[in-house]
Structure 1
Amino acid sequence: MTVTAEEALAGVQNAIAAYTHALDAGRSEEIPGLFTEDGVAEIVGQGTFEGREAIGKAFGAFVPQAPQLHLVGNTLLTSPPGDEVTASSSLVFFARGEEGWAVQLVGSYEDTLVRVDGAWKFRKRVTSFQP
């Protein structure tokens, strides 16, 4: 079945939303299942985690200690649509403290996703932050 650009973009956006919602809610145990078995999560300056087990261990350490929110936008497919796509997104990370919500980080996601049994999974996710 041919994948349209609209279908691919919707799948990518859904995978990104599942990832950020799980992070923000402290459901780090859901993160590995959003990746392929041999998936790679790279956080520039912090490490590269290969395979679901390593990803689960790494993200288990990222359980929020206070309310947080990842806002992702400007997602652009950077490859033709198919069963594997690449995409680039902008990221703003907020945390809520005593003074209210404040921007903590600005960055980007560079993703490679594949369609597995109708669901989009991250094959590789590179997260980088702006200074």
Structure 2
Amino acid sequence: MRFEDYYEIMQTIARYGHALDAGTVPFAQVLTEDVEFDFTHAVPPGQPGSVVKGRERVLEAMTGSADDPYTYRSTLTRPALSHHTTNSEVVADRGDEVQVRSKFLRLGNTQPGPMPVLIGQYLDTLRRTDAGWRISRREIISHGL
């Protein structure tokens, strides 16, 4: 893998949180149009998880709206949430498609201040597109909280 590809892949992973929390990055720079999010392992045991397909549907599942916050209100912030992705590593390289495993931490605005509300792991597939590397599939695995 070329360093330039590795760098862009890691930047895409990092931009996801900025796109979700502050709307400072358009989701078009992060997700493919046909992206798939697998929430099967993101819910408590015994509850049904779902698989959401398509950028607009994923946005709706994650933010409550199919509108990209960046495109309709670039100053939008979601101070109640803060997403952090760490320990990202490429675990499979197939040329124009890679798999990346990362840890994540989601903070919520609670009293007396931000507290972890969810921790887990992302298993991402990123695809090289004409516009650069984009997340084409994300499996969210909750580890609790």
TM-score, scaled relative to structure 2: 0.73
Deviations along 1:78-104, whole A, 9 cap, x unmatched?
A: 112622110000011112223012111
1:56 aligns with 2:56: no
Moved more, 46-55 or 89-98: 46-55
Q: Tell me the secondary structure at the aligned position of residue 98 of structure 1.
A: coil
2:101 to 77, 88, 100: 88
CA distance in 2, matches of 1:54, 1:15: 19
Moved more, 61-70 or 112-121: 61-70
Partner of 1:19: 16
Return the offset for 1:16. Answer: 1.4
What is the aligned residue count?
Answer: 127
Q: Tell me the secondary structure at the aligned position of residue 78 of structure 1.
A: strand
CA distance in 1, matches of 2:6, 2:19: 20
Return the offset for 1:32. Answer: 5.6
| Identity among equivalent pairs (%) | 27
Q: Do the aligned partners of residues 85 and 22 (structure 1) sit closer, same or farther apart at CA in structure 2, a change above 3 Å counting?
A: same
1:101 aligns with 2:97: no
CA distance in 2, matches of 1:106, 1:21: 17
Which residue identity is paired with 2:80? P
Which residue identity is paired with 1:86? Q
CA distance in 2, matches of 1:21, 1:28: 6
* Alignment RMSD (CA, Å): 2.6
Q: Tell me the secondary structure at the aligned position of residue 99 of structure 1.
A: coil
Report if aligned partners of 1:28, 1:56 keep a CA contact under 8 Å in 2.
no
Task: Please list every run of 5 or more consecutive structure 1 residues that lacks an aligned counterpart in the other structure.
Answer: none
Q: Do the aligned partners of residues 79 and 32 (structure 1) sit closer, same or farther apart at CA in structure 2, a change above 3 Å counting?
A: same
Report if aligned partners of 1:66, 1:97 keep a CA contact under 8 Å in 2.
no
Partner of 1:9: 6
Task: Please list every run of 5 or more consecutive structure 2 residues that lacks an aligned counterpart in the other structure.
Answer: 44-48, 70-76
Which residue identity is paired with 2:55? R
Residues 102-121 of structure 1 mapped to structure 2, 5 A cutoff: 102-121=115-134
Report if aligned partners of 1:90, 1:108 keep a CA contact under 8 Å in 2.
yes
Report if aligned partners of 1:95, 1:102 keep a CA contact under 8 Å in 2.
yes
